[in-house]
Structure 1
Amino acid sequence: MEEAAEILRNRQDYLQLEQLGTYASGIVPFSDWESLTMEALIGMGRYEEAGSLYAETVDRYFKERGIRPSQKLMDSLDQLGEQMLHPYGMLDKIQTELAESRADIYGGYLCSYPIFQGIYRMVTRMMERGGQSIYLMLCTIIDSKGNPMKDGEQLEELSCRLGDAICTSIRHGDAVNRYGKGQYLVLLVNTTLENCAVVQKRINNNFLIGRQRTGVQYYVSSVTCEIE
């Protein structure tokens, strides 16, 4: 597959490369062959289709296998961003396109892993001169014995409920990512360790129902500026 892809890549035969990626994805699912299809779509300038394929692939991998995007898929997304050129525009129009709809602003900012990673890297850069106190929190659903829940019919329902509980418990300026089955990452900006504990209590209040035996385990780490 790799040799065939390299031949088609050198020939710039993106149509056949797209077909090759689609074929490979069908024969060996969940093996990142979608990156070939994305590469071909980008090569043909079909950026919107490439973006849709990425979103669909990440969603399917997560729902069916509970895994986050591979580095290969994320590299394809980076390539998409680099090659996407917009027509000439004025600043006010660009700003309107960038802005988030007011109707969508509710609780924390729930986003995909690549976007969460970008936000994390950006805020660590901002810390160099801003001096903000930022914390990264990992929330994991646990069973009645205190062990992380990794599968089971109940896990998906609990995961969705935990996501809602987190989003309603944090500020608009904090970011959330569903990292895996039963796990969420939360980036708490400009806060304190004491406030992290307050956030955890809020999440528990919004998540726990009646005599619910499952719970949430929290790990919190201070984010430090990594730029020298």
Structure 2
Amino acid sequence: MSTEEKNPIIKIYMLGRFALEYDGEIILEDEGKIHKVWSLLGYLLANHSRKLGSQELPELLCADERSGDPAKVVKNLAYRLRCLLSDSGLPKETYIVQSGGSYSWNERLNYTIDTDEFLASYKRARQGGIDEQTAIDCYLQAISIYQGKFLPHAVYDQWAAHSTTYYHRLFTDSIISLYRLLEKKETYELMLPVCEKAIGIDAYDEDIYRIYIHCLTKMGRHKEALLSYETITNRLYDEMGVNPSGELRSLYREIMKTLKSVETDLIIIKEDLNEGGQAECCYFCEYQIFKDIYRFIARRVNRTGESIFIMLCTLTDKEDEIPSKKYLAEAMESLKVSIGKTLRKGDLFSRYSHSQFVVMLPDISYENGYMVGKRIQAAYKKNKVSKVVTMHYKLQPLDPKHF
């Protein structure tokens, strides 16, 4: 591409949005309205270094149409694209070059594309022989250029899917590689805004959350680390129906180990342990904590013979399948409230999966435990979502024989 300064550079953005900037002003931006015209422009720019043959564009742009003359359809789209560019306020130039039946972007124009700049910074960071600080700077540059996934309005276009995956994989790899370099220097604070940006783009990437939580922990910001852990696990439960990975759960245990500083005053420790007299309902906890309490109680039951029951509350649709995402989050929140209002202070419960809660009922008989389940059901049915999502429960005694 030309670097002559006859006119200001046309800056083309394809990561996070699709827009053309000229002389400091956004001249054109894809708003998802004339999809085929923008799709043609996107494909030309994504392949700006080559000519697109007479068969390639018709197959791309006319795959979902029953046209007797695909070449004519492409010609019409190219004409509409030229009109769009001509009327936009960009300099009067030839933007689309046609030669026979092929089309291409005019490489003689004075322009830049963020995808090219992103790749250049990424490749420079991974180039052999450069020092670590230069690699860090290049990774930071690549990360700053990446503003989101490739051509967001083309997310369902098959031709764009590969590039979307490719650029996002390099973005994630840039963050992981940057983290490894900064970890050596123990400069964890530089990673926080990087991870926050990545989470804003993809809120379900466990690798990024793991780096973010680890950095917060290393900086002594344990409560923020714990909050971030709860955020990602809730998202995985509610919206993807999966449990956090073993690595993420291990990180959670590390947070809990380091959350408390050394304290020698037993009175202060006791004040920290109690709930300040505010415990007015049952105890809700993260599943890892529930497991630890269960194992402790099981050891005691083995000696005392107490009657303790475990209840599993499950949500299903009318076909006894996992409810759709449309209703599941609201139904789980309703069930959580119903359980919390029904149980006693000495009971505890936890979220077991994206559609289940597990409950521990100490000092109770099977008959009374069964009635507790009935009361939870009755409380849950007061919510309108219960008409499409049904609550079931099972009850079994705690079995200490393996402890």
**TM-score normalised over the length of structure 1:** 0.80
1:47 to 219, 222, 229: 222
Distance in 1 (CA, whole Å) between partners of 2:198 and 2:401 is 39
- Partner AA of 2:396 in structure 1: S
- Partner AA of 1:92 in structure 2: I
The share of aligned pairs that are identical, in percent, is: 26
Compared CA separation, residues 6 and 202, structure 1 to 2 (3 A): same
Moved more, 53-62 or 18-27: 18-27
1:77 to 226, 231, 252: 252
Compared CA separation, residues 90 and 17, structure 1 to 2 (3 A): same
User: Once the 2 structures are TM-superposed, how far is the Cα of residue 50 of structure 1 from its aligned partner?
Assistant: 1.8
User: For residue 377 of structure 2, what is the aligned residue in structure 1?
Assistant: 204
- Partner AA of 1:56 in structure 2: T
User: For residue 14 of structure 1, what is the aligned residue in structure 2?
Assistant: 188
Equivalenced residues, count: 226
User: Once the 2 structures are TM-superposed, how far is the Cα of residue 27 of structure 1 from its aligned partner?
Assistant: 6.1
Is 1:177 matched up with 2:350? yes
Distance in 2 (CA, whole Å) between partners of 1:63 and 1:138 is 18
Compared CA separation, residues 45 and 218, structure 1 to 2 (3 A): same
Unaligned runs of 5+ in 1: none
Unaligned runs of 5+ in 2: 1-172
User: For residue 113 of structure 1, what is the aligned residue in structure 2?
Assistant: 287
SS at match of 1:102: coil
- Partner AA of 1:155 in structure 2: L
SS at match of 1:176: strand
2:331 to 153, 158, 176: 158
Is 1:221 matched up with 2:396? yes
**TM-score normalised over the length of structure 2:** 0.49
| Contact 2:239 2:325 (C-alpha < 8 Å) held by counterparts | no
- Partner AA of 1:114 in structure 2: Q
- Partner AA of 1:168 in structure 2: K
User: For residue 130 of structure 1, what is the aligned residue in structure 2?
Assistant: 304
CA RMSD of aligned residues (A): 3.1
Distance in 2 (CA, whole Å) between partners of 1:95 and 1:104 is 15
SS at match of 2:352: strand
User: For residue 61 of structure 1, what is the aligned residue in structure 2?
Assistant: 236
User: Once the 2 structures are TM-superposed, how far is the Cα of residue 99 of structure 1 from its aligned partner?
Assistant: 0.8
Higher relative contact order (CA 8 A, sep 6+): 1
Distance in 1 (CA, whole Å) between partners of 2:178 and 2:402 is 41
Is 1:142 matched up with 2:316? yes
Distance in 2 (CA, whole Å) between partners of 1:52 and 1:220 is 32
Task: Tell me the alpha carbon deviations over residues 92-122 of structure 1, each in whole angstroms, 9 at most, x when there is no partner.
Answer: 222112111433422x222222322222222
Structure number with greater Rg is 2
User: Once the 2 structures are TM-superposed, how far is the Cα of residue 3 of structure 1 from its aligned partner?
Assistant: 6.7
| Contact 1:136 1:221 (C-alpha < 8 Å) held by counterparts | yes
Distance in 1 (CA, whole Å) between partners of 2:294 and 2:316 is 26
User: Once the 2 structures are TM-superposed, how far is the Cα of residue 189 of structure 1 from its aligned partner?
Assistant: 1.8
User: Once the 2 structures are TM-superposed, how far is the Cα of residue 74 of structure 1 from its aligned partner?
Assistant: 1.6
SS at match of 2:400: coil
User: Once the 2 structures are TM-superposed, how far is the Cα of residue 12 of structure 1 from its aligned partner?
Assistant: 4.1
- Partner AA of 1:131 in structure 2: G
- Partner AA of 2:395 in structure 1: V
Is 1:30 matched up with 2:204? yes
Compared CA separation, residues 155 and 100, structure 1 to 2 (3 A): same
User: Once the 2 structures are TM-superposed, how far is the Cα of residue 186 of structure 1 from its aligned partner?
Assistant: 1.0
| Contact 1:125 1:227 (C-alpha < 8 Å) held by counterparts | no
